[in-house]
Amino acid sequence: MDEVEKPLSLVLFSGTDDKLTAAAVLAVGAAVMGRPVNVFLQYYALDAFRAGKVGADHALSPEATAAQTPAVKNHPGTHWSELFKQAKEVGEVGVHACALSMEMFKLEQKDLDPLVDDVEDDRRARDGLPWSADGPHWGHPPGPGRGPDRGLVRRPGVEDRYPSLGDEGEARAGLDR
């Protein structure tokens, strides 16, 4: 698969204007290059995409200092929502709300801005996939530190390139196989 064909997937969980702007810049840039873009909204990012609240002030990240805040707020750049609209106009861009976050905040799709295309339900058990929404991971696939396999993925050949790593990427200093 050519690099341009690979989709750019962005997971947004913060709803601050600076982080939303950064994500929108990435989305529009990838869309202009012809890359498909998937934007997944969860937690506080959903609040920024609520109907009637897109244009509101969503503050800045806590990292913004008192001296930086006025410079960022007064910058005449394009609003993040307009950048997302532009990205959708020029390329294949999907904006998806997390069903678990929607449920947590008691939201329905009608509560969201039209920028949001749909609600994605990642609870795979309903589709017969191997992890359970009712189990300890509550809709999340086993990853590092979760489940009996601890989320390890076999990477054939990795030990050939990096002798100190096993075929699962684990450190194996002093271990003979």
Residues 40 and 117 placed together within one structural domain of the fold: yes
Give the span between the Cα atoms of 55 and 92, in whole angstroms.
23
Q: Which domain holds residue 77?
A: 3-122
Q: Which two tokens stand for residue 9?
A: 């997937």
Structure tokens at 113: 């801005």
**79 and 142 both lie in a single domain:** no
Same domain (yes/no): 11, 76: yes
Q: What is the predicted pLDDT for the residue at 88?
A: 97
The answer on 156 and 137 residing in a single domain is yes
Q: Are 26 and 65 part of one and the same domain?
A: yes
Same domain, 142 and 58: no
Residue 155 above 50 pLDDT?
Answer: no
Same domain, 83 and 166: no
Q: What is the CATH number of the domain that holds 104?
A: 3.40.1260.10
Mean pLDDT of the 3-22 span: 92
pLDDT band at 123 (very low <50, low <70, confident <90, very high): low
Domain limit, last residue, from 86, 103, 122: 122
Q: What is the mean pLDDT of residues 121-142?
A: 46
Mean pLDDT of all residues in the chain?
Answer: 78
Domain end, chosen from 94, 122, 150, is at 122
- What is the C-alpha to C-alpha distance for residues 6 and 92, in angstroms, rounded to an integer? 12
Q: What is the pLDDT of residues 47-79, one digit of tens each?
A: 999 999 999 999 999 999 999 999 988 888 899
Compute the average pLDDT of residues 129-155. Answer: 42
Torsion, Cα 123 125 130 132, to 10 degrees, reads: 70
Give dist(CA 144, CA 132) in Å, integer: 16
In terms of domains, do 22 and 79 share one?
A: yes
Picking from 105, 122, 139, the residue at the C-terminal end of a domain is 122
Residue 127's pLDDT band (cuts 50, 70, 90): low
| 24-33, 86-95, 139-148: least confident range | 139-148
The pLDDT confidence band at residue 2, using thresholds 50, 70 and 90, is confident
Q: Is residue 138 pLDDT above 80, yes or no?
A: no
Q: Are 55 and 137 members of one domain?
A: no
What is residue 136's three-state secondary structure? coil
* Poorest-pLDDT segment among 22-26, 44-48, 153-157: 153-157
Same domain, 82 and 53: yes
Place of tokens 């989320």: 151
- Paired with 10 in beta bridges are 39
Q: Does 26 score more than 70 pLDDT?
A: yes
C-alpha to C-alpha distance for 16 and 68, rounded to whole angstroms = 15
| pTM for the predicted model, two decimal places | 0.68
The end-to-end CA distance of the chain, in Å, is 34
Q: How many domains does the chain have?
A: 2
